Amino acid sequence: MKNNASLAYSLLLIIGDFLALLAAFSVAYILRVKLDERSLIVQIAAWDYFRAVATVLPLWIAVHGFIGLYNQEVFEKRFSELGRLLVGSIMGILVVLGYDFVSSTELFPARLVPVYGLVLGFSFLLLFRTILKIVRRLLFRYGIGISNVVIVGDTEASESMAAAIRHTKNTGQKVLCVVGREVRGFKHYDNFANAITNIRRPIHAIIQTELYNNQDKNNEILRYAHEHHASYRFVPGNTDLFVGNITVDLYAGLPVVAVHQTALIGWGRIIKRAFDLVVSVLMLIILSPIFVIVALAVKLLDPKGPVFFRQARLTRFNREFKVYKFRSMYQRYSGPSDKEAFELMGKPELYDKYKNNGYKLDKDPRVTPIGRILRTTSLDEIPQLLNVIKGDISLVGPRALIPQELNAYEKKHAILSVKSGMTGLAQISGRQDIDFDERRRLDIYYVQNWSFWNDITILLKTIRAVIGGIGAR
């Protein structure tokens, strides 16, 4: 039986977004027209303005739909939704202004009205969606809007899936039973026929973690899902094949699954590069005063050394490049290799600790006092914007590998299939607070699950991490 809860939430989001925007532009009108004594471009009565705005706001709602703001998956991910709301608000106001430009009548009585509308609109949208999330969780607590799931398969994936759903209360899913494998804490049936005979509640979703050798059994499960309008998903036996970008095409009338290492192909690469250029140039301009101050501080406090530190790193397709950073180490330790530097200071034992920790060291004695500040605040990373502009790296991506790290990565081909990044999942997940294997896993996950919206989310979380000094040393 189909669960209409997700459709109801989507409709609530559409109606709520419209009302939030209408309220925002109404407040914008009051602030500029009623409370501000300055002259107006054109006199527009309140009712005429309200009616005109209500007519054009569906275009803004359409933009939200286009960028996926009414998909349940996006609604459940706070930072992904925040990033899309920000982009959607900017695109929405541009569409509204475009309509105002081509229409025969003036939509706004003053230029500040759409500015107020943009700021208030984003704020009201965020507030409404936050309230809806709270209400939704309360409904889930009382069993309202829950999606009932049946898991089929005698595999470890069944256990993992059941545990994940049980501990993910925000999704509103409940496992009715597991067919095939006994999992502690869940009702168990030996076969699918017994399960559907004994289950009295409606089944909204079926997840099959094992395809049977007997095709009739698979057809029975799929047919039941279709006849009862339940969603059907299956977990492939070889999960390593089903990562990255997956498409299904028809060849000779047969479905063929195409698997790419990453979704960052075609137009995705073009959009990402354009975004990198625009944002990095703007950031370099905005941060130029800090750039100059930091450069002077580095030079004055250790005048014997250069301002910038350059190091060989690897990026897409194993291409070597020189990464730029503000120098944060004493000059006498910057030139030699890491091993030679520790030997030079009489602490050769630190090299093994440094290497085993993924070429990072807590309280590295080679770092200058100003260098510690730069690293804690991530200001030493600013020159990497030059690498982004040059095309060596991207704003977001896996960590750029040091050549000697290459053999330590089992799936280096995946990491080196995209450009390295200034920031990434590892940086927002604790930087040096997570070990080498976890950083590697996060980098691989990013490559295999790339999307433009993930990049926006990571950038927003990076700002929070930098301000909070998360994991910095």
pLDDT (tens digit per residue) in 350-382: 877 877 776 677 778 888 889 889 988 889 999
Residue 159 near residue 184, CB atoms below 8 Å: no
- pLDDT of 218 strictly over 80: yes
Q: What is the pLDDT of residue 2?
A: 55
- pLDDT of 469 strictly over 90: no
Q: Residue 192 — very low, low, confident or very high, per pLDDT cuts 50/70/90?
A: very high
Q: What is the pLDDT of residue 39?
A: 87
Cα distance between residue 169 and residue 141, in whole Å: 8
Q: What is the pLDDT of residue 262?
A: 78
Q: Residue 240 — very low, low, confident or very high, per pLDDT cuts 50/70/90?
A: low
Range in 231-240, 389-398, 418-427 the model is least confident about: 231-240
3-state secondary structure of 346: coil
Q: What is the pLDDT of residue 420?
A: 93
Which amino acid would we find at residue 107? L
Report, as an integer, the average pLDDT of 153-164: 88
pLDDT: is 428 or 223 the higher one? 223
Q: What is the pLDDT of residue 208?
A: 93
Q: What is the pLDDT of residue 169?
A: 64
Range in 147-156, 221-230, 246-255, 378-387 the model is least confident about: 246-255
Q: Residue 291 — very low, low, confident or very high, per pLDDT cuts 50/70/90?
A: very high
Q: What is the pLDDT of residue 425?
A: 87
Q: What is the pLDDT of residue 445?
A: 86
Cα distance between residue 473 and residue 465, in whole Å: 13
Q: What is the pLDDT of residue 433?
A: 65
- pLDDT of 31 strictly over 80: yes
Q: What is the pLDDT of residue 397?
A: 93
Which amino acid would we find at residue 102? V
Residue count of the chain, please give it: 473
Cα distance between residue 467 and residue 289, in whole Å: 18
Range in 107-121, 250-264, 309-323 the model is least confident about: 250-264
| CA nearest to 175, candidates 160, 186, 191, 190 | 186
Cα distance between residue 368 and residue 307, in whole Å: 13
The domain segmentation of the chain, as residue ranges, is: 5-141, 147-237, 267-328+367-468
C-alpha distance from residue 201 to each of 1, 175, 205 (Å): 10, 11, 12
Residue 119 near residue 102, CB atoms below 8 Å: no
pLDDT (tens digit per residue) in 86-140: 999 999 999 999 988 888 778 899 989 999 999 999 999 999 999 998 888 888 8
- pLDDT of 471 strictly over 80: no
- pLDDT of 202 strictly over 70: yes
CATH superfamily of domain region 147-237: NAD(P)-binding Rossmann-like Domain (3.40.50.720)
Q: What is the pLDDT of residue 4?
A: 64
Cα distance between residue 229 and residue 223, in whole Å: 10
